[in-house]
Structure 1
Amino acid sequence: MKITDTAVKRRIATSVIAVALVVLGVYGLFRLPVNFLPDMTYPLIKIHIWWRGATPDEINTNLADPIERQMATVDGLDFLESSSIEGMYTLQANFKYDVDVDVAYQDSLAAMARAVRQLPKDIDPPVIIKADPSQLPVVQLTIRSEHWDLTKLRTWADNWLQDQMLAVDGVAGTEVVGGLKREIRIHLDPLAMEKYSLSLPAVIKRLQEENLEQFGGRVTAGPREIIARTMGEYRSMDDIRAIVLVQSNGSKITLADIAEVRDAHEEVRVITRLDSRPAVKLSVLKQADANTVAVAIAVYQKLNELRPNLPAGIALDLVENQADYVVPALKGVRNAAAEAAILVFIVVYLFLGSWRQVVVMLAALPVTLLLNFALMKLAGFSLNIFSLGGLVVAIGVVLDNSIVVIENITRLRHETPGESPGELAVQGTAKVGPAILAATLSFIALFIPFLLVPGLTSLLFRELILVIAGIVCISLAVAVTLTPMLTAILFGGRSAAPERESRFEQIFEKVTDGYGWILSRILRARWAVIPGFIAVLAGAVLLAPGLGSEFLPQMDDGRVMVKVKLPTGAALGETDRVLHEIEAKLTGDPLIESAFTLAGGKVWGLYTYEIANEGQIDIQLVPRHRRDVSTDEYIRRLRPVVSKIPVPGGKAMVMQSKIKGLRSLGEADIEVKIKGMDMEKLFTLAQKTAQTMNSLNQFTNVYLSLDMTKPEYQVLIDRTRAAELGISVADVAVTVRSLLSGAVATRYREGDDFYNIRVMIPEERITSRRDIENLVLNCAQGGYLRLSDVAEVRQAVGPVEIVREDQIRTVVVRGDAAGASVGQALASLQKGLQDVTLPPGYRMYFGGQAQMMAEMKDAVLMILGFAVFFAFVVLAVQFDSLKLPAVILGSVPFCVAGMIYALQFTGIPMGATVLIGLLVVVAATVNEGVLLLTVVEELRTRNQVPVFEALVQAAKIRLRPRLMIAAAVIAGFIPLALNLEEGGDMLQPMAVGAIGGLTLGIFVAVFLLPCIYLVFTREKNIEIEKR
């Protein structure tokens, strides 16, 4: 090969280029961002709207309907998902994967601009964002104080600490939850208002008129220009109290005459604690392209910088730091990579028996890996658990080509003494050059189809696949340039005669001779051997359905959640009481590092949802090396403890927190979604589904997204009577909302900070239906009336949350697998739901992991189909034959059987990561087939060796490199398979499956493949008969 000849002859140039590439790689390595997951930016737009006090039904009618009608017209939309809960509307617009997210965002803004005209005027401005998993909180900290009350603490966090965090490089935003948010409250006295003939709109108007700071104009005073400003903003509570509302007969009626003005706080909707002590939580979100670890470290350093100057008694505690997950996980994978490299070099030394050849390998590996870091930087990749996993996979694979080249050069040195090392290096490389090129192309052909499949599977593994493909390509270039050049240098001063054989080489020669003798007999008994392998394959096929299945394995990251769901209508205080009891059980547990409690809501994505009857405790266990139980074992131990705590009419569930950034996996292992128009029918169907799940004994934490028992007072307006009195339905609705929930009239300024001024009737004055009926309304003609004069107030129930998909109401039944894999639990549930009859127009389907697993199965079929097709094309071009590619690919299923046996033996379920191991096994099988049959065909065509002898000779020639490559790749997978370090959970199934497939692949390569070749060769009968 000319490139090899040039590399060997121009050694300085080759060495300098290699060093330059290494420098580029080192630069790229230190410039790569560090994250837990790869960049998975997919076209998803989120819309959030807060509408204080609105019921789910109101939000569904007034927000969901007009917004979703407009959003449904956006080009490239896949499906819509929305949730309407009390006071909040959330919409997720999922676009097709080939849609540009920036274009989708602009189109969504245009659609929302049309929808906003139809929305109520008292909603908060819509928040429209491009969803990006990388923007999830990287740091969550709590603020506690021994001296300040929760109002002052929350105000300090809002007004000062947030600004400090936003100043940190790489921080995109923050969210503060908990404590008491300051606001100025004006508690009206309805009787006094009636006495002085004052209406709510009149009070609000006067508050707004008296709180004004405005530019007045410019005054020229000689050579100077002076600006005039009207300074009429409120400066104190007394300013607000002194507002004159009306003047009558020389007397002034002030706000103090009809209301109490308080410097208070907003209604308490959520309560937060850290380790049972009241606290305020602040979440820090990073920019999409920022380095997770760098941002987390910068925030940590900023906190250390701030601590000496904090107000007395203030304590800042980190409750969640993504770097605490990322750094140990990546360190664990890096350690696995280092251990794999050491094992690989030991294998190479044992098989080659020469330290010089090991030195060549020592040079080839870092050059290949470091150059790949430079390519990763150019491609915009990050160091994450999957890209590093690709490096671990590649460590064994990357040396395949160099091993083949070195082994061939070594063999030539023994066969042709007297030749110069340089000539031997060039000849040895040239002989195997076409074969390793074909093997490399086949390898890439097997992996590239992964990128053609849309969906989360492709996004998740894209970097891992491209890293492996990139390293394999680089390894080919290194194998035909740097490897022969270094071999020529290291053996330059030595005779081409063979060195003194090591003890291992002497043993291996005997092994090779014995293998040749065994193979010759196996080939004659091929019709007994092939059925034996078929029986092995059949056994694997029978075992395959019994394998569990999942989309992704759970990480042993020590993150546990205790979720509490009380009966609908339960007050926040009752939810908090139950959580206090659970906290008491957790106190003193040495395995718990921290426990953060949220009463009255749930956290999902970037926001905290306020739901009075729900709460959760987020537990962080101590690091894995400091505990003797896994996260899953701890959950099983905690469940009986929590189940003993009485939750009247509700339930307390213990579960492992889901991987952040993978929303497609859902809130539970399995989600059953039921779509239809009538809420009552949906609720009935959902209850039947939940009963089925509970009866199977393979589910835990079963609950429904729909609850139709939320108590509410419904105001039914008599339109005729209202019209006669000159009052509209809108007037009634606005007045009722303003009096009960409060109306923000204006804002109070203190320094550079602003606080809402809310006008309302005190909560303690409205405790029954009669109090609502007695609310005072003002008529257009003048005068006042009670709400009961124009409306009936009745008690009813309504939904807690309304979920819609593609504008159709949807109920979700969720449950976690227990005592079975996700796939096994899903299969049982599918069978159990066969008897459920759906009314016309209703649909039932699966979401969460179940949906992702279904997509994965389709993806697997597509990937394997494309991979086999592309590999067949490459092999057909290489051999100019259709028969030989069929021989090689025909041996692949037998290697896959080894994966099934390994997974069955270890009890590891089939998942998406196993697919990567499958591709490695298939690639290794194809590579060996290419190299073996290349030698066979060369012996037959060039040397006219009969097929039987050619097979035996070629198999003996390929035995050592085949065993060496298999041992090297298996050694590379062993650290991941043992999963002794943090971060290995995600990649362990891949490693275990690959080891099983590669192990059986050795027997397939050295025994079965020659038999299959012999069966497909026309000359076989004649040759064997002659023998």
Structure 2
Amino acid sequence: MKTTHYAVHRRLATSAIVVALVVLGLYGLWRLPVDYLPNITYPLVKVQIKWQGATPEEIDTNIADPLERLMSTVDRLDYLESSSIEGMYNLNVYFEYGANVDIAFQDALAALTRAQQHLPKDIEAPYVYKADPSQLPVMQLTVSSDRWTAVKLRDWADHWLQDRILAVRGVAGAEVVGGLEREIRILLNPAAMEKHQLSLDTVIKHVAAGNVEQTGGRVTVGPKEVIARTMGEFTTLEDIRTIVVAGEGHRKAYLRDIAEVIDGHEEARLMTRFNGRESVKISVLKEAEANTVRTAEAVRRLLGELKAELPEGLQLDYVEDQAVYVKQALAGVRNAAVAAAALLIVVVYLFLGSVRQVVVMIIALPLTLVLNFGLMKLAGFSLNIFSLGGLVVAIGVVLDNSIVVVENISRLRRAHPNQDASGHAVDATTEVGPALVAATLSFLALFVPFLIVPGLTSLLFRELILVIAGIVVISLAVAVSVTPMITATLFGGKHQQRTSGWFEHLFARFTEIYGRVLEGIIGWRWVVAPVFLLVVAMAFALSGRVGGEFLPLIDDGRIIVKVKMPTGASVSETDRALRRIEEQIKGDPLIQSAFTLAGGYVKGLTTYEVANEGQVDIQLIPKAMRTISTEQYVARLRKVVGQLQPPGGKAMVRQMPIKGIHGMQASDIVVQVRGQDMETLADLASRTSRMISDLGRFQNVLVSMDLSKPEYQVKVDRVKAAELGVQVADVASSLRSLISGAVATRFRDGAEYYDIRVLVPEERLTCRQDVENLTLTCAQGDALRLRDIATVVPASGPVEIIRKNQVKQITVEADIAGGDLAGAVRELRRALDGLERPAGYLFDFGGRAEMMADMKKTVLTVLAFALFFSFIVLTVQFNSLKLPGLILGSVPVCLSGVVFLMLLTHLPLGATVIIGVLVVVAATVNDGVLLLTYARDLEAHKGLTPLRAVVDAAKIRLRPRLMTTVTTMIGFLPLALNLEEGGDMLQPMAVAAIGGLGMEMLVALFLMPCMYAIVSKSSTQIVEAKISATKVQSLENC
């Protein structure tokens, strides 16, 4: 090969090029960002609209309906998903994978603009943003104090700490949750308002008119211009209290006559604690391109510097620091790579028996990996669990090409000891070069489907696949250039005998025995082939017992205890239930921290306010410091929490799934019950919940909503209202403002502004009669009570309304009590098929079950394309259809090893397993190409019969084939043992690869020669095709 000839004969120039590339690779490594997951850009746009005091039904009718009708018309839309809860509407607009996120965002924004004319006028400005897993917090910390009030604590976090965190390089935002936001409250007295014939609108207008600071214009005074300004802003609460709201002269009514003005806080709808102390939580978000580890460490440094400035009694604690786990996980994968490399070198030394040849491998291995870092930087990749996993996977195959070259050089040196080292290097590399190129192309063809098949699975593993592909290409370049150059340099031209030792004698004996066994097996080839087919049939029959899931749970110590009280329960009731759980886990040495949220739940970046829900987020101590796994601790905690079930409510313990991947929910199963009528849906969801519980395989069964949220429904008498000049909309608007409050203006305190909210205080609204006595205004300006034009009726309504593609749905969540996700889904599907349901109502699966179903489709598509592309490459290589069919026909036998070992280790088949499967297919193709190419060469150049040629080729290629397979298995071994933090994700892949490669070794050693003998259609017996003793000795020495 010209490349080899140039590298061997121009060693200095080649070395200079290699050094330059190494420098670039090291620079790329230094500049690579560090993260846990690849930078996955989801084609997802989120819309969030707040409507103070609105019920879920109001939001569904007035916001969801008009907005989703227009949003459904955007290009490349996949589906819509929305949630309407009290006071808030959230819409997720999912686009097809591959859609341009920026264009999708602009399309969604345009649809929202068109819809705004149909939306209520008193909603807050819609918040629209592109979703990105990198927006998940890189750090969460809490601020607590035993001296400060919740108001002062929140105010300090909002206006002092948050500003300093936002100034850190790489930080994109800081979300503050908990405490109480300060606001000036004007608490109305309905009786006093009625006495002075005042309505809410009148009060608001007077308050707003009394708080004005405005420029009047310029006045020229001699040579100067002077600005005239009206300074009418409130400076004290007394300024607000003395506003005249009615009358004149001595009969004036001041605001203090009809209301109490206090420096207070918003309504307490969320309660937060850290390790039992009331606290405020701050979630730090990084910029999309920022390095997770560096950003988190920069925030830590800042907080360390600020400790000296903290007020006395204030305490900062860390709830979660992604940098810590990322570093531990990446260190675990890195250690696995180092261990694999060390074992690899030992195995290579055993097979080659020469220190100098091992030196060649020691140089080729890190050189290939370092050069790949440069490619990763050019491609915009990061160092993450998947890209490093690609490095570990590639370590097993990175030396395959160099092993074949070095082994062939050694064979030629023994056969032609008088030839110089440069000649050996060039001739040996040229001899195997075409086979190496074909095998590499076949290997790469297996991974091409990941670039063309859409879906989350393909997107998630793209960096891992491209890293493997890059390393394989570089390893080929190194094998045909640097490896022969170094070999020629180290061996100088003198023949070095292979080091004699126990392993060498043992392997020579093994080769001799293998040759005789293979000859006998080929004689029974028509029996051997059916035996392997029987193995495939057994694997297929047992495959149903292997569990299935999308991605394995990570042993990172994150646990959630979720509490759902009866519908209508107050925040304080929910908080009491959570406090009982806190008392039980207090002092547990395995728990590092516990963060409690009462009155809501967290989903993604959003904290939802739901009074009857709450959660305790538990973080265990690091994996290395505990003797039990997160899964085992969850099982133990479930027994404790099971004894603390709140009356009429439910407390559930779950291990948290991996963050940053859309659709990964804490619950194992999510059944979507879909239809239009809420009452019918609620009944069907209730029956579904009971049916799932009765199956006995599930626990923590939970219906997302019911229709029992107590409410007062105001029914307006339209005739009476019309007579008094009152519109229904006026009644609704006034009622919301009186109960939930209306912001009249803002109060300035230093550099900060706080809302001035006008409302009737909660203590004056304790029963239905208090609501009926609320004061409204008629068209003539006179005051009237609500009961004059409406009746107030007790009723119930939904807590939350969820829609998917404009169709309402209720979700039923459940966890698996035993077994695997795939088996549970199959059983549940059969049960749901037998459940009676009205026409137009259907069941669907979401969450991890839906992701697993999509993963299966993607995996089968990828595997089909991979085999197709490999067949095309092999057909071009051999100019034959038989040999490619022979090689790829043995793939199912190799994959049976995957099933057997996964079943033995009780690991489920998941998305990562496809990588192990493709490595097995690649090894099968590689070994097949090397074996059959050499067998055909022996037929063509030595005149051997096909049977004799395949036996001799199998013996000659035994050493490099065993080396490549064993080294690949060794490369996966550290990940398969999962001894380090962060290995959970890649363990199934490694186990699958080892199982498949073990079976592939048997296929390559025995089945493939038998199949070659069958397709060759030769009737010549091996014993009749004996070769001269000299030729036999020559071939065996090879």
Matched, 1:523 2:539: no
Structure 1 partner of 2:538: 539
What amino acid is the match of 2:317? D
Structure 1 partner of 2:905: 906
Spell out the pairing of 1:671-750 with structure 2 (5 A cutoff). Answer: 671-750=670-749
Deviation string 1:713-733 (CA, Å, 9 cap, x unpaired) is: 000111111001111101111
What amino acid is the match of 2:230? T
What amino acid is the match of 1:820? G
Matched, 1:876 2:871: no
- Partner Cα separation in structure 2 for residue 698 and residue 924 of structure 1: 40
- Partner Cα separation in structure 2 for residue 74 and residue 458 of structure 1: 25
- Partner Cα separation in structure 2 for residue 646 and residue 97 of structure 1: 42
What is the CA distance between 1:122 and its match in structure 2? 1.7
Structure 1 partner of 2:292: 292
What is the CA distance between 1:1022 and its match in structure 2? 6.4
Is contact 1:244-1:255 (8 Å) kept?
A: yes
What is the CA distance between 1:831 and its match in structure 2? 1.6
Is contact 1:672-1:813 (8 Å) kept?
A: yes
Q: SS of 1:317's equivalent?
A: strand
Is contact 1:711-1:796 (8 Å) kept?
A: yes
Structure 2 partner of 1:454: 454
- Partner Cα separation in structure 2 for residue 500 and residue 234 of structure 1: 94
Structure 2 partner of 1:419: 419
What amino acid is the match of 2:16? V
- Partner Cα separation in structure 2 for residue 402 and residue 223 of structure 1: 88
Structure 1 partner of 2:407: 407
Structure 2 partner of 1:653: 652
Spell out the pairing of 1:329-728 with structure 2 (5 A cutoff). Answer: 329-492=329-492, 494-496=493-495, 498-728=497-727
Is contact 2:59-2:89 (8 Å) kept?
A: yes
Spell out the pairing of 1:303-314 with structure 2 (5 A cutoff). Answer: 303-314=303-314
- Partner Cα separation in structure 1 for residue 879 and residue 180 of structure 2: 77
What amino acid is the match of 1:592? I
Is contact 2:702-2:814 (8 Å) kept?
A: yes
Runs of at least 5 residues in structure 1 that lack an aligned partner in the other structure: none
Structure 2 partner of 1:894: 893
Single out whichever of 838-847 and 176-185 deviates more from structure 2.
838-847
Matched, 1:929 2:928: yes
- Partner Cα separation in structure 1 for residue 956 and residue 224 of structure 2: 99
Q: SS of 1:521's equivalent?
A: helix
Spell out the pairing of 1:176-191 with structure 2 (5 A cutoff). Answer: 176-191=176-191
What is the CA distance between 1:843 and its match in structure 2? 1.9
- Partner Cα separation in structure 2 for residue 819 and residue 330 of structure 1: 31
Is contact 1:405-1:428 (8 Å) kept?
A: yes
Structure 2 partner of 1:90: 90
What amino acid is the match of 1:188? L
- Partner Cα separation in structure 2 for residue 348 and residue 1020 of structure 1: 39
Q: SS of 2:838's equivalent?
A: coil
Matched, 1:836 2:802: no
Matched, 1:276 2:272: no
Structure 2 partner of 1:223: 223
Structure 2 partner of 1:987: 986
- Partner Cα separation in structure 1 for residue 476 and residue 775 of structure 2: 84
Q: SS of 2:957's equivalent?
A: helix
Q: SS of 2:125's equivalent?
A: coil
Structure 1 partner of 2:120: 120
Q: SS of 2:180's equivalent?
A: coil
Structure 2 partner of 1:161: 161
What amino acid is the match of 1:900? V
Spell out the pairing of 1:677-826 with structure 2 (5 A cutoff). Answer: 677-826=676-825
Is contact 1:416-1:496 (8 Å) kept?
A: no
- Partner Cα separation in structure 2 for residue 695 and residue 401 of structure 1: 57
Single out whichever of 216-225 and 804-813 deviates more from structure 2.
216-225
Aligned length in residues: 1026
- Partner Cα separation in structure 2 for residue 821 and residue 960 of structure 1: 41
- Partner Cα separation in structure 2 for residue 646 and residue 753 of structure 1: 44
CA 1:390–1:856 in 2, change beyond 3 Å: closer, same or farther? same
What amino acid is the match of 2:901? A
What amino acid is the match of 2:273? R
Is contact 1:446-1:868 (8 Å) kept?
A: yes
Is contact 1:524-1:1024 (8 Å) kept?
A: no
What amino acid is the match of 1:92? N
Deviation string 1:942-993 (CA, Å, 9 cap, x unpaired) is: 2211111111110011111111111111111010000000000000000011
Is contact 1:702-1:813 (8 Å) kept?
A: yes
What is the CA distance between 1:510 and its match in structure 2? 1.5
Q: SS of 1:840's equivalent?
A: coil
- Partner Cα separation in structure 1 for residue 665 and residue 78 of structure 2: 18
Is contact 2:57-2:801 (8 Å) kept?
A: yes
Structure 2 partner of 1:60: 60
Is contact 1:883-1:1016 (8 Å) kept?
A: yes
Is contact 2:47-2:92 (8 Å) kept?
A: yes
- Partner Cα separation in structure 1 for residue 497 and residue 645 of structure 2: 80
Q: SS of 1:986's equivalent?
A: coil
What is the CA distance between 1:497 and its match in structure 2? 5.5
Matched, 1:202 2:233: no
CA 1:561–1:406 in 2, change beyond 3 Å: closer, same or farther? same
What is the CA distance between 1:223 and its match in structure 2? 3.1
What is the CA distance between 1:1021 and its match in structure 2? 4.7
What amino acid is the match of 1:333? V
Q: SS of 2:746's equivalent?
A: strand
CA RMSD of aligned residues (A): 1.2
Is contact 1:670-1:814 (8 Å) kept?
A: yes
- Partner Cα separation in structure 1 for residue 242 and residue 950 of structure 2: 105
What is the CA distance between 1:451 and its match in structure 2? 2.2
- Partner Cα separation in structure 2 for residue 487 and residue 226 of structure 1: 88
Is contact 2:562-2:615 (8 Å) kept?
A: yes
Is contact 1:422-1:488 (8 Å) kept?
A: yes
- Partner Cα separation in structure 2 for residue 737 and residue 537 of structure 1: 69
What amino acid is the match of 1:607? T
- Partner Cα separation in structure 1 for residue 360 and residue 634 of structure 2: 50
Q: SS of 1:941's equivalent?
A: helix
What is the CA distance between 1:545 and its match in structure 2? 0.8
Q: SS of 1:476's equivalent?
A: helix
Deviation string 1:189-233 (CA, Å, 9 cap, x unpaired) is: 112112222211111001111111112212233333332222211
What amino acid is the match of 2:138? V
- Partner Cα separation in structure 1 for residue 669 and residue 103 of structure 2: 33
Q: SS of 1:533's equivalent?
A: helix
What amino acid is the match of 2:521? I
Is contact 1:948-1:1020 (8 Å) kept?
A: no
- Partner Cα separation in structure 1 for residue 219 and residue 331 of structure 2: 68
Deviation string 1:842-892 (CA, Å, 9 cap, x unpaired) is: 221111111111111111221111111100000011111111101111111
Structure 2 partner of 1:942: 941
- Partner Cα separation in structure 2 for residue 421 and residue 873 of structure 1: 37
Is contact 1:666-1:847 (8 Å) kept?
A: no
Q: SS of 1:942's equivalent?
A: helix
What is the CA distance between 1:1024 and its match in structure 2? 6.8
Q: SS of 1:356's equivalent?
A: helix
- Partner Cα separation in structure 2 for residue 309 and residue 954 of structure 1: 77
Structure 1 partner of 2:1029: none
- Partner Cα separation in structure 2 for residue 811 and residue 965 of structure 1: 54
Q: SS of 1:813's equivalent?
A: strand
What amino acid is the match of 1:378? L
What is the CA distance between 1:1025 and its match in structure 2? 6.9
What is the CA distance between 1:249 and its match in structure 2? 4.3
Structure 2 partner of 1:214: 214
Is contact 1:597-1:617 (8 Å) kept?
A: yes
- Partner Cα separation in structure 1 for residue 153 and residue 720 of structure 2: 50
What is the CA distance between 1:663 and its match in structure 2? 2.2
- Partner Cα separation in structure 2 for residue 856 and residue 257 of structure 1: 67
Structure 2 partner of 1:328: 328
What is the CA distance between 1:146 and its match in structure 2? 2.1
Deviation string 1:599-634 (CA, Å, 9 cap, x unpaired) is: 000011111100000000000000001101000000
Q: SS of 1:796's equivalent?
A: strand
Structure 2 partner of 1:857: 856
Deviation string 1:501-535 (CA, Å, 9 cap, x unpaired) is: 33322221121111111111111011222222222
Q: SS of 2:317's equivalent?
A: strand
- Partner Cα separation in structure 1 for residue 249 and residue 863 of structure 2: 91
Single out whichever of 1013-1022 and 130-139 deviates more from structure 2.
1013-1022
